Amino acid sequence: MSELPTSIDDALQRARRLGVDRLDAHLLVGAVLQQPRSWLLAHDRDPLPPDAAERIHALLQRRAAGEPAAYLLGHKEFFGLTLAVNPDVLVPRPDTETLVHWALEVLAQPPSHTAAPRVLDLGTGSGAIALAVAHTHPQAQVTAVDASEGALRTARLNGERLGLAVAWRLGSWFEPVAGERFDLILSNPPYIAEHDPHLPDLRFEPRSALTAGADGLSDLRRIIDQAPEHLQAGGWLLLEHGWDQADAVAQLLRDRGFLGVAHRHDLGGHARCTGAQWAPCRAGTLSGRDALNSGYEP
């Protein structure tokens, strides 16, 4: 057998033997040939030009070695937006859309009833959360912070390409928004424990986007501790966290004096987002249906 694939069908068979997911293989082959999946299926026996065969071979090897398909393709879909991604940013996960859905629920009834609610996304990475909110709720004034220059550059470029206005700020957590207050603060911060056994599977993504101290809670603690100085009365703090951190995050919020602690579940049914409201919490802030779905605790 030659080292390089001779046809699309041959490339897909090699991908299967390498353990590459079928959809990823289609996307990678399609990206090299600049053709949609339907075209690949109709031309699977066509001979591959040698340069395309070489590029497909290299991409399949890299994917088989664990490099995320999104980095190889250079983009990832999130909340209906195509975002450029690279190794400076975490690949946005579908589960994070849960946080965006919750944010949009809150924005549908903004606590301060302002026409242009102020929203802050802490640790924006590719800009996924900030851009999804700016796109879906254009009245919001969105600010996004990241401590990584490379991430912020990527997020800014995504915003420009999508024509979405977000104020991008470089710095650590609340440092670049000193003295400012928001109606809604969102964050998907690093939350993996430093010695978590799953970290090797994530070795292509920036370590600074993943780990947060010995228990994975150090950034969540810092954000919860400092958020009240940056929230309007009645403003919400909504956080994504690990599948086993919901109780700990809820307790941190209560200890800091937040009210109405609630959870949202990811696609796998785990409580992966926890949020609460900075006082005063008026009765009826959550509807009865929301309270039931979210585990609302008055």
Residues that bind ligand SAM (CB under 6 A): 90, 92, 96, 123-126, 128-129, 145-148, 151, 172-173, 188-190, 208-209
Angle at 172 between CA 169 and CA 175, to 5 degrees: 75
Q: Is 171 helix (H, G, I), strand (E, B) or coil?
A: coil
Q: At what angle do helices 50-64 and 8-18 cross, to 10 degrees?
A: 20
**Residue number with CB closer to ligand SAM (7 or 136):** 136
Residue (128 or 262) nearer to ligand SAM, CB? 128
* Closer residue to ligand SAM, CB minimum distance, 86 or 208: 208
CB of 99 to ligand SAM, least distance (A): 8
Q: Which residues make Cβ contacts (< 8 Å) with residue 237, sequence separation at least 6?
A: 185, 187, 223, 224, 227, 231, 253, 258, 275, 276, 277, 278
* Beta bridge mates, 76: 83
Comparison of 25 and 129: residue with beta carbon closer to ligand SAM: 129
CA distance 13 to 81: 31
Quote the least distance from Cβ 233 to ligand SAM, whole Å: 25
Contacts of 129 (CB under 8 A, 6+ apart): 96, 99, 100, 103, 121, 144, 186, 188
Q: By the 8 A CB rule, do 171 and 149 touch? A: no
- Alpha-carbon distance of 129 to 92, in angstroms, equals 9
Q: Closer CB to ligand SAM, residue 213 or residue 295?
A: 213
C-beta closer to ligand SAM: residue 8 or 239:
239
Closest CB 101 distance from ligand SAM, rounded Å: 14
For the chain, the farthest-separated pair of C-alpha atoms sits apart, in whole angstroms, at 71
Residue placing its CB nearer to ligand SAM in the complex, 90 or 237: 90
Neighbours of 269 (CB within 10 A): 8
Report, in Å, the least distance between residue 298 CB and ligand SAM. Answer: 29
- For the bound state, the minimum distance from the C-beta of residue 27 to ligand SAM, rounded and expressed in Å, comes to 19
- Give the shortest CB-89-to-ligand SAM separation in angstroms: 6
- Residue 156, φ and ψ in degrees, nearest 5: -60, -45
- Residue keyed to tokens 């600010």: 143
User: Nearest approach, Cβ of 175 to ligand SAM (angstroms)?
Assistant: 8
Nearer to ligand SAM, 133 or 151 (CB): 151
Q: How far is the CB of 93 from ligand SAM (least distance, A)?
A: 7
Q: In the chain, which ranges are E strands?
A: 75-78, 81-84, 118-122, 141-146, 167-170, 182-187, 231-240, 259-265, 271-277
